[in-house]
Amino acid sequence: MSTTSLCPSATREHGPGAKRVLPLLFLTCLLDAAGVGLIVPLLPTLIGSVAPLAIRDAATWGAALVMTFALLQLFFSPVLGSLSDRFGRRPVLVLAMLGFALSYLLLALADSLWMLFLGRALAGLTGASVATAMACAADLGTHGQRTRHFGWLYAGLALGMILGPALGGLLAVHGTTLPLLLAAGLCLLNALLAGLFLEETLPPTRRRRLDPRRMNALRSISGLARQPGVGRLLAVLALVFLGLQAVMVVWPFFVIEKFHWSSAWIGYSLALYGVLAVLAQTLGVNLCKRHLDDARLLRLGLALQGCGLLLFALVDSSFWLVCALLPFALGSLATPAMQGLLSARVPVDRQGELQGVLSSLMSLAAIVGPPLMSGLFHWGSGPLAPLPLAGAPFLAGALLVLAGLVLAWQLRPTGEERSWTG
Report the predicted TM-score, pTM, of the whole model to 2 decimal places: 0.67
Give residue-wise pLDDT tens across range 360-403. Answer: 787 788 788 888 888 888 787 776 666 668 888 999 999 999 99
Contact yes or no for 365/238 (Cβ under 8 A): yes
- Evaluate whether residue 262 is within a structural domain: yes
Q: Model confidence over 139-189: pLDDT tens digits?
A: 876 656 777 788 788 788 878 878 887 787 777 777 778 888 888 888 898
Residue 414 placed within a domain: no
In a domain, 417, yes or no: no
Quick check: is 27 in a domain? yes
CB 242 within 8 A of CB 367: no
Q: What confidence score (pLDDT) does residue 88 get?
A: 84
The DSSP code for 32 is H
CATH value at residue 258: 1.20.1250.20
The list of the chain residues with pLDDT below 50 reads: 1-16, 414-422
Q: Give the domain range for residue 279.
A: 9-408
Cα separation of 182 and 169, whole Å?
13
User: Is 17 a member of any domain?
Assistant: yes
Residue 269 lies in a domain: yes
Task: Round to whole Å and give the CA distance between 244 and 390.
Answer: 16
Q: What is the DSSP secondary structure assignment for residue 204, as one 8-state letter?
A: G
How many domains are there within the chain?
Answer: 1
**pLDDT attached to residue 414:** 44
* Dist. CA 366–CA 74, nearest whole Å: 9
The pLDDT value given to residue 248: 79
Assign residue 51 a region (left: φ > 0; alpha: ψ between -120 and 50; beta: otherwise): beta
